[in-house]
Structure 1
Amino acid sequence: MNNVIVYSKNNCMQCRMTKRYLKEHHVSFEERNINQDPQYLDTLKQQGFQSVPVVMNGEMDPIVGFRPDSLKELAD
């Protein structure tokens, strides 16, 4: 599976755990950090999200928060 995007921010434990899970399961992803690039925050707000991490890929609904039960679908 490809085109996985992880929206994250600095000092976010759930973001860190999500990225670690994806790396451990060999899921490649693009990280979009809202602290380093605030335009990503605007993108998330426009889509109705109020917290990170948000994991997106074109084939499934966005995953909000650290959700290993949902993330495992990306690893299959």
Structure 2
Amino acid sequence: MTLTLYIKPEGCWQCTKTKDLFTKAGVQFDTVDVTTNDNALAYITEELNYAQVPVVVYEKDGSEDHWSGLNPDKIKQVIARRTA
């Protein structure tokens, strides 16, 4: 399983809350700062077509899911899949 959070580290409460929810559940993730990584910004805006952060990209067993913004229901699904 891989979980990547594309974030802005400053001033993004949705990014902070998303990270907190995964951290509290013991789910490991990588973070990518889109304010300093032009390739990451291009990926989330041009390939995934998102205009806001956080962007969460989750992959397990060859299946990928992604979303933008704080989404507690999706976060719960990832946490449940991790423990399944």
Shorter-normalised TM-score: what interval?
A: 0.7 to 0.9
TM-score where L is the length of structure 1: 0.88
C-alpha distance in structure 1 between counterparts of 2:36 and 2:23, whole Å? 21
| Superimposed CA distance per residue, residues 2-50 of structure 1 (whole angstroms, 9 cap, x where no aligned partner) | 2100000022000000000000011110001111323211111112111
Larger radius of gyration: 2
How large is the RMSD of aligned CA atoms in angstroms? 1.2
Calculate percent identity across the aligned residue pairs.
25
Q: Runs in 1 of length 4+ with deviation above 6 angstroms?
A: none
TM-score where L is the length of structure 2: 0.80
C-alpha distance in structure 1 between counterparts of 2:71 and 2:6, whole Å? 14
Stretches of structure 1 that go unaligned for 5 or more consecutive residues are none
